[in-house]
Amino acid sequence: MKPVSLRPIIGPELREQFEEFGRRMREWNAELNESFTQIAEGFQRIQKAFPEDIRVLSQNGWFISFWHTPITGLTPVAHLFSNGDAEQGHEAMCRHFSDVLDGVEEDLVKRNPRRAEILTKAFRAHRDQDYELSVPVFLAQADGIASEMLGVSVYTRHSSKRKKMAEAIEQLDPKGLEDPMLRLVIGDLPITASTTSEEYSDKSLNRHAIIHGIDVSYGTKLNSYRALSWLQYASYFEEAARWSERRSNKVEQGVAPQSATRSESNSEGDAKPQPETEVRSR
């Protein structure tokens, strides 16, 4: 039997269109592969920079959670602080937390119903620029929320209690970028330092100096936003515990565990979509 050929059937014009389509598909495939490569390389850069970025931010009184702060915007702001431009760094972080203020409040109130009235009044004080009231309440509630998960105060400097805190975090079995973020609290931070330690500075947000009446000039917008960032960071330990439990359950069920991603969290309905905002530096 004579083999069937499509060439006479489709004609030269249609054949040319098929060939052009094939050429474009090959180009699109090459561009797509290049895009995936760039995305992978970009994520690798983020992974590499992330521990140092959050360390720099924490030394300047700022903390994040994966709910509200896009990690892609951290490096430019961390560079501002590292390069001695702290004023612009603080401005960028204040703008960011101003953008997500409503979402942070909603999440905290939802996750901590026993503290809802206190939190609502603290946020009201912040919006009313009554920072002398908002700052100490944010700091106190951060201690209570985190202590419920870690078993000790996040402000403790006693070696035995810090060891207990480290063990509690180890039990959470943090994965990926979550690991260095949660372990920040174990280290020496200006916000948790004693007023006689090397980490303490009268320019820093320091819980001990504020709560014990040593610092009487803490009532600023900057400190209120920094205290707010610390509060929502402290609350993240509860979310980390949830993900740790889910990973354990999946292992017991023979399902490969996954890290706590926004998309999966959203699909289960227990976290809000991340706001379309970035940490903007000028």
Query: What pLDDT band is residue 202 in, cutting at 50, 70 and 90?
Result: confident
pTM score: 0.74
Give the span between the Cα atoms of 132 and 138, in whole angstroms: 11
Residue 141 lies in a domain: yes
Q: Is residue 205 part of a domain?
A: yes
Residue 275 has pLDDT above 50, yes or no: no
pLDDT, tens only, 46-98: 678 999 999 999 999 999 988 788 888 899 999 999 999 999 999 999 999 99
What average pLDDT does the segment 236-252 reach?
73
How many structural domains does the chain have?
1
In a domain? residue 42: no
Which residue, 196, 66, 195, 184, is CA-closest to 205?
A: 195
Amino acid at 192: T
pLDDT score recorded for residue 83: 96
At residue 198, the pLDDT reads 79
Q: Are 94 and 275 in contact (CB under 8 A)?
A: no
Name the residue range of residue 210's domain: 50-267
Q: How confident is the model at residue 103 (pLDDT cuts 50, 70, 90)?
A: very high
Specify if 11 maps to a domain: no
**Among 75-84, 130-139, 218-227, 231-240, whose mean pLDDT is lowest?**
231-240
Question: 43 lies in a domain?
Answer: no
The better pLDDT of the pair 280, 166 is held by: 166
Nearest one of 214, 7, 234, 232 to 107, comparing CA atoms:
232
Domain-embedded: residue 85: yes
The percentage of the chain sitting over the pLDDT mark of 90, rounded to a whole number, equals: 45
- Does residue 260 lie in a domain region? yes
**Any idea which of 184-188, 232-236, 245-249, 270-274 has the lowest mean pLDDT?**
270-274
Comparison of pLDDT for 29 and 137, the residue scoring more:
137
- Model confidence band, residue 15 (pLDDT cutoffs 50, 70, 90): low
Which pLDDT score, from 0 to 100, does residue 37 have? 67
Q: Residue 155: inside a domain, yes or no?
A: yes
DSSP, collapsed to helix, strand or coil, labels residue 5 as: coil
Check whether 220 has a pLDDT greater than 50.
yes
Query: How confident is the model over 254-263, as pLDDT tens digits?
Result: 655 544 444 3
Question: In this structure, how many other beta carbons lie within 10 angstroms of the beta carbon of residue 202?
Answer: 10
Distance separating alpha carbons of residues 162 and 185, to the nearest angstrom: 9
Q: What is the mean pLDDT of residues 250-269?
A: 48
Q: Specify the amino acid at residue 233.
A: Y
129, pLDDT greater than 90: yes
Higher-confidence residue of 109 and 177: namely 109
- Phi-psi domain of 151 (left: phi exceeds 0; alpha: psi -120 through 50; beta: other): left
